[in-house]
A and B are shown apart, each in its own frame.
Chain A
């Protein structure tokens, strides 16, 4: 019997019990949908991480204030020992570090006329923009002189600019942070959401001196955003920086460190790890679904074989061989799993598109994922259709014809 006939018979048999076929396919649909979503979302996340690395530079090194001493619950950012002097010492004594920018941050109410907003406020130096490769779309950034003189100038992220100024041009306008007036000198390029889902454009950047003295009222800094001369240098610089800071802070053992040093690759690794856990989770949902779906197909095929015992008898009586019968039921099982697979691919794509849209991630449709999903769906049909098909073929034609 030729294949197109077998396929036609299979479609007929499935169309005859539409609801039953649909319910049977559900497991496969969910499983394949999860596979597609996993791969697409995974690729989206990877793209973001990649982008994050690019935007921060593979050479980036973070030196953050913080303690992991259990006794002194100062909190991650509560440590007051990291200073701009530390940064200057690092630049002076660790030649692997090319440049560095101190960062202090806080939140405060920002007012322009009758509009107000509470963005993240960061204080830093012009190096910050260079290390992060973050340019302005309008105006410019503040200067070294303005840092030295603790001038009241600021650069706005696009979110802040939009919320305070709408369609107006913010450059040269004066806003107030608390009671202090600040002149807007620039608006940053849009960055969108980070891999962690926060809006990177919801920030206001001013000289660190100004933020320290006039807004936060502190003398220390929260972290140092440094850049090494190469990716390898970034890794090699870590122990040197640690040694230097321990000496400066008079720390004897690493457990007492009041700072953390990490590289961009460490951060990327962490993000990748998180992504891997996500994938594992979605992957196990997918496999459980696929197995359940396969068992569902097997179950329905066994029911179908029993229901159609007479049909099988008739087919054998008019000349169907065991192989013909086996093939018929196998094709039916595969047709069902493939139909489920195709619907699953469709819903997986729609689902991942929706998630990406929601999180502002790029939608990445992977041909590999679709191919894998198709192969998996077909294999499930074959795997779980084999036994029912074998059972059908083993029927004795005489018994089958007599079956009530």
Chain B
């Protein structure tokens, strides 16, 4: 079902540039904590085109997650408009938002958020259940998604039997399974070591370059942002900087220069020493 075809009463649908995927117009988000009002977003305007790879940076509390939640239709702006593929989704009902989350958005979280004691395959199948697909279709789609992240052979493993990096790849497969328009990742490498982080960035770069998937990811690490095409810097609920990454890193090229876990075990060195030797500048980790 395409959103363009079905116009909701009160929802503005504008014919626009087909390449434009997301448009935010002066978006505000205010949280009410009893008497106190927390202004998490203070007028964010933003356009993201199809095929972009955007890194959102900023200090803790600057509003990055709030932005992602609004982009992911988990939350609605207090003020302003949010057009997703030309439809103003800030006006849609909860049921309609659930439908959009299911069909158009893939979410990846810092804590992976896989269902415990549920196989990788069934975790990946989860969004297809709510899409109302047949069991056979669900199964084949989930397997295909696992293949795309290189984990087809782990389909029947439980999350507890997988490494952090593998769990995050399962989570990416889950985000991809319904072929969304956009992949939103809120600090996807926050819980991973540096090599695994680059592996995740490799997958995201592959999906963006080869499959044209639009990616928006939150990170507070400059090294991670270097893999994106465009960076948005947040401070106090506003976009302070918005620029294209000049000398973009390619994860596939960086990976061979990084020690693997086996090598780490072999040399029995502390991770800090290895960080110092690798291409990562420790001063930038923070």
Residue positions of A touching B, CB distance < 8 A: 1-2, 5, 12, 16, 310-311, 313-324, 397-398, 401
Contacts and interface: CB of A to CB of B under 8 A. Distances in A.
Given A317-B113, A321-B98, 15 more contacts: A5-B129, A12-B118, A16-B117, A310-B113, A314-B126, A315-B126, A315-B130, A317-B107, A318-B102, A318-B174, A319-B102, A319-B127, A320-B98, A322-B95, A324-B98
A1 B94 contact: no
| B101, B114, B117 pick with most chain A CB within 10 angstroms | B101
A310 B174 CA distance: 16
A15 to B, nearest CB: 10
11 contacts: A16-B117, A311-B115, A315-B126, A315-B130, A316-B98, A319-B99, A319-B127, A319-B131, A323-B95, A397-B74, A398-B75
A314 B115 contact: yes
Contacts of A324: 98, 130
Contacts of B132: 1-2
B69 A398 contact: yes
B145 to A, nearest CB: 12
| B74, B98, B99, B117 pick with most chain A CB within 10 angstroms | B98
A16 B158 CA distance: 14
Contacts of A12: 118
A13 B132 CA distance: 21
Contacts, number: 60
B74 A317 contact: yes
A313 B113 contact: yes
B58 interface: no
Nearest to B103: A319
Contacts of B51: none
A397 B275 CA distance: 37
Interface of B: 69, 72, 74-75, 94-95, 98-99, 101-103, 107, 109, 113-115, 117-118, 126-127, 129-132, 174, 178
Contacts of B129: 1, 5
Given A2-B132, A314-B126, A401 B109 contact: yes
Contacts of B102: 318-319
A317 B101 contact: yes
A320 B107 CA distance: 14
| A1, A314, A319, A397 pick with most chain B CB within 10 angstroms | A319
A141 to B, nearest CB: 76
A185 B95 CA distance: 88
A206 to B, nearest CB: 78
B63 to A, nearest CB: 14
Contacts of B178: 319
A114 to B, nearest CB: 74
A5 B139 CA distance: 13
A182 B23 CA distance: 113
A398 B130 contact: no
Contacts of B69: 398
Contacts of B174: 318
Nearest to B66: A398
A5 B138 CA distance: 12
A316 to B, nearest CB: 7
Nearest to B99: A319
Nearest to B171: A314
B94 A318 contact: no
B130 A1 contact: yes
A319 B74 CA distance: 10
A47 to B, nearest CB: 50
Contacts of A316: 74, 98, 101
B84 to A, nearest CB: 15
User: What are the 5 closest A-B residue pairs judged by CB atoms, nearest first?
Assistant: A319-B102, A319-B130, A318-B127, A321-B98, A314-B113
A312 B98 CA distance: 13
Contact of A318 (B95, B117, B118, B126): B126
Nearest to B109: A401
Contacts of B95: 321-323
B130 A318 contact: yes
A323 B96 CA distance: 12
A401 B112 CA distance: 10
A320 to B, nearest CB: 5
Contacts of A317: 72, 74, 101, 107, 113
Contacts of B101: 316-319
A320 B113 contact: no
B90 to A, nearest CB: 16
A313 B113 CA distance: 9
A311 B131 CA distance: 18
Nearest to A317: B107
Nearest to A314: B113
A397 B98 CA distance: 11
A250 to B, nearest CB: 89
Contacts of B94: 321-322
Contacts of B99: 319, 321
Contacts of B127: 318-319
A398 B98 contact: no
A322 B103 CA distance: 17
A16 B115 CA distance: 13
A398 B113 contact: no
A314 B95 CA distance: 16
| A16, A317, A322 pick with most chain B CB within 10 angstroms | A317
| A5, A311, A318, A323 pick with most chain B CB within 10 angstroms | A318
